[in-house]
């Protein structure tokens, strides 16, 4: 023991011989800690692990540096299946006393086998999951999980207790008792286990009332002393009369009882074994079936996805090779260009181009297609625009403004640089008293051809319209 003040080794005196500090109380605390450690050790020796746990924790509350107590606490945790709690105690112990510490060996043994450590962690996770299942009232799932946990870590006391509680809830008292006995084998004096055991025994024990008459019958006997021996002669028992037939009858009855015993004892156990086996098979098959169902759903999803892709591709093919597909439109463009070169019929070429532009987006087509389309459009555009402009002017003069608007728009479509058509469009709208469209036409003219002759006039008209004069 060392002084808390100067670290000097303490003697049997109540003060430190190094610094003179009063260490009587300090020594007493250390003694109490050691006393609790000894108590914990004794309890651990007789497998009272939960009792040992309490004593060792007490010991550490008095002296956190009691390395033996901490290491033993870790061992007790480990024995109860609480591996992580055990590791935590050993790590702290190693930290407090790095040299010649047995905790180092314990940590090494646990950590050297990575798969074992992983398995331990899985066990803990499964136990926690089982607890969640219990909370959610999925008791069957919880039982399956706990059985898995206990097959991996048979010393996990909490898991045994929880499983026995589930059995008790199911009123399967025999299985509950079996689990509790396993708990007691690990930890003899666990209060929770003993409480459950008491409850299970109460349920399993036959009625007291049934036992009473038997005891009374025992008392109905004559007792007397003969020399040094006490003779007890029951009153209800009579000496049987021995005869050959009776012996044979007894043998027959014995054989019958033997068969009966086999039938009633061995057959149910065999049946229960078969039942268990079948149950396990069912669980296995159900697991496999679940896996296959998931796989089927996955494959069905894949099929649906592939069907969607096929439909998409078919639509794409239709877009290429169908009646109004890209290939057909390319052919139309070639035919239109060839016909125009041969006959010079601008109107026919314009109709062809319009049909193509209705079916495809020219800007999204190949470079060659766009080039041919624009070349042809550029060749026929100005002449057609002039023709439409002339026709539009005629309609304007006759007062057919709606037709004039249509023709001026066509003239602008075929030649964007046709200032006259744009100006006339504005004027026609003005005549139709459609100020909004008229202003839009003038604005377009002012924006595109600000230096043209018509720009000044258009501005004047526009301003007049805008001010509502």
Partner 1 sequence: MINFEEELKKFHPSLEVEDAEEAIYNQDMTDMADILVKMIKETEVKTKKEKKPDEVQ
Min dist CB 52 to partner 1, Å, is: 19
Nearest CA among 202, 200, 157, 156 for reference residue 177: 200
Interface with partner 1 by CB under 8 A: which range of 6-14, 58-66, 229-237, 276-284? 58-66
Interface with partner 1 by CB under 8 A: which range of 154-162, 206-214, 340-348, 397-405? 154-162
Min dist CB 8 to partner 1, Å, is: 15
Lay out the site mask for partner 1 across 103-142 (x = CB under 8 A, - = otherwise): --------------x--xx--xx-xx--x--xx-------
Residue 380 in the binding site for partner 1 (CB under 8 A): no
Residue 29 in the binding site for partner 1 (CB under 8 A): yes
Please check whether residue 100 is in contact with residue 91, taking contact to mean a CB–CB distance below 8 angstroms: no
Residue 311 in the binding site for partner 1 (CB under 8 A): no
Taking the least distance from each CB to partner 1, the nearer of 117 and 440 is 117
| Distance set, CA 366 to CA 139, 278, 334, 373 (Å) | 68, 70, 14, 11
Min dist CB 183 to partner 1, Å, is: 13
Taking the least distance from each CB to partner 1, the nearer of 202 and 215 is 202
Report d(CA 5, CA 18) in Å as an integer: 9
Please check whether residue 103 is in contact with residue 74, taking contact to mean a CB–CB distance below 8 angstroms: yes
User: Rounded to the nearest 10 degrees, what angle do helices 346-359 and 326-343 cross at?
Assistant: 170
- Interface residue with partner 1, options 49, 75, 143, 165 (CB under 8 A): 165
Query: 1-20: which residues touch partner 1 (CB under 8 A)?
Result: 4-5
Nearest CA among 5, 3, 23, 26 for reference residue 14: 23
Report d(CA 229, CA 233) in Å as an integer: 13
Report d(CA 141, CA 303) in Å as an integer: 33
Min dist CB 288 to partner 1, Å, is: 29
Helix (H, G, I), strand (E, B), or coil: what is residue 230?
strand
Please check whether residue 167 is in contact with residue 175, taking contact to mean a CB–CB distance below 8 angstroms: yes
Taking the least distance from each CB to partner 1, the nearer of 33 and 393 is 33
- Interface residue with partner 1, options 37, 62, 388, 414 (CB under 8 A): 62
- Two tokens at 235? 């009153």
Taking the least distance from each CB to partner 1, the nearer of 50 and 428 is 50
- Half-sphere exposure of residue 172: CA atoms within 13 angstroms, side-chain side: 12
**Backbone phi, psi, residue 226, to 5°:** -125, 110
Report d(CA 200, CA 198) in Å as an integer: 5
- Interface residue with partner 1, options 43, 49, 52, 63 (CB under 8 A): 63
Residue 61 in the binding site for partner 1 (CB under 8 A): yes
Residues in the interface with partner 1 (CB under 8 A) total 43
Query: 187-216: which residues touch partner 1 (CB under 8 A)?
Result: 192, 195-196, 199
- Interface residue with partner 1, options 30, 356, 380, 425 (CB under 8 A): 30
**Backbone phi, psi, residue 408, to 5°:** -65, -40
Residue 35 in the binding site for partner 1 (CB under 8 A): no
Residue 152 in the binding site for partner 1 (CB under 8 A): no
Nearest CA among 152, 159, 79, 87 for reference residue 119: 152
Min dist CB 165 to partner 1, Å, is: 5
Report d(CA 434, CA 430) in Å as an integer: 6
Taking the least distance from each CB to partner 1, the nearer of 20 and 450 is 20
Helix (H, G, I), strand (E, B), or coil: what is residue 65?
coil
Residue numbers of the site for partner 1 (CB under 8 A)?
4-5, 21-22, 25-26, 29-30, 32-33, 60-65, 82, 84-85, 87-88, 91-92, 117, 120-121, 124-125, 127-128, 131, 134-135, 158, 161-162, 165, 168-169, 192, 195-196, 199
């Amino acid at each position: 023991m060392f002084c808390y003040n100067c670290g000097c080794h303490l003697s049997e005196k109540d003060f430190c011989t190094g610094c003179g500090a009063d260490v009587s109380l300090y020594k007493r605390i250390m003694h109490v800690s050691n006393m609790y450690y000894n108590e914990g050790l004794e309890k651990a020796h007789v497998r009272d692990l939960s009792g040992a746990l309490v004593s060792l924790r007490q010991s550490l509350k008095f002296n956190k540096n009691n390395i033996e107590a901490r290491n033993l606490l870790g061992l007790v945790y480990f024995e109860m299946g609480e591996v992580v709690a055990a590791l935590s105690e050993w790590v702290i112990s190693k930290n407090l006393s790095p040299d010649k510490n047995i905790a180092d060996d314990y940590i090494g043994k646990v950590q050297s086998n990575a798969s074992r450590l992983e398995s331990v962690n899985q066990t803990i996770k499964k136990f926690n999951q089982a607890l969640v299942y219990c909370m959610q009232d999925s008791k069957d799932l919880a039982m399956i999980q706990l059985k898995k946990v206990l097959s991996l870590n048979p010393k996990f006391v909490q898991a045994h207790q929880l499983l026995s509680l589930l059995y008790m809830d199911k009123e399967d008292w025999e299985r509950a008792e079996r689990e509790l006995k396993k708990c007691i084998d690990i930890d003899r004096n666990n209060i929770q286990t003993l409480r459950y055991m008491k409850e299970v025994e109460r349920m399993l024990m036959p009625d007291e009332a049934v036992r009473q008459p038997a005891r009374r019958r025992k008392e109905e006997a004559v007792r007397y002393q003969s020399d040094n021996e006490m003779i007890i002669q029951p009153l209800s028992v009579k000496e049987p009369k021995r005869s050959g037939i009776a012996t044979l009858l007894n043998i027959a009855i014995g054989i019958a009882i033997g068969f009966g015993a086999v039938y009633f004892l061995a057959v149910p156990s065999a049946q229960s074994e078969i039942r268990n086996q079948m149950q396990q098979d069912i669980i296995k098959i159900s697991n496999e079936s679940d896996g296959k169902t998931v796989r089927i759903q996955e494959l069905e999803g894949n099929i649906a996805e592939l069907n969607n892709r096929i439909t998409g591709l078919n639509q794409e093919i239709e877009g290429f090779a169908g009646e109004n597909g890209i290939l057909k439109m390319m052919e139309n463009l070639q035919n239109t260009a060839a016909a125009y070169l041969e006959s010079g019929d601008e109107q026919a070429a314009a109709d062809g181009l319009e049909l193509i532009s209705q079916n495809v987006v020219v800007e999204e087509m190949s470079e060659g297609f766009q080039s041919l389309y624009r070349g042809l459009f550029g060749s026929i555009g100005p002449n057609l625009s002039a023709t439409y402009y002339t026709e539009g002017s005629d309609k304007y003069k006759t007062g057919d403004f709606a037709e004039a608007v249509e023709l001026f728009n066509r003239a602008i479509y075929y030649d964007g640089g046709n200032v006259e058509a744009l100006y006339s469009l504005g004027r026609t709208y003005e005549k139709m008293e459609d100020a909004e469209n008229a202003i839009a036409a003038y604005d377009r003219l002012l924006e595109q051809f600000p230096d043209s002759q018509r720009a000044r006039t258009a501005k004047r008209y526009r301003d007049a319209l805008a001010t509502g004069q």
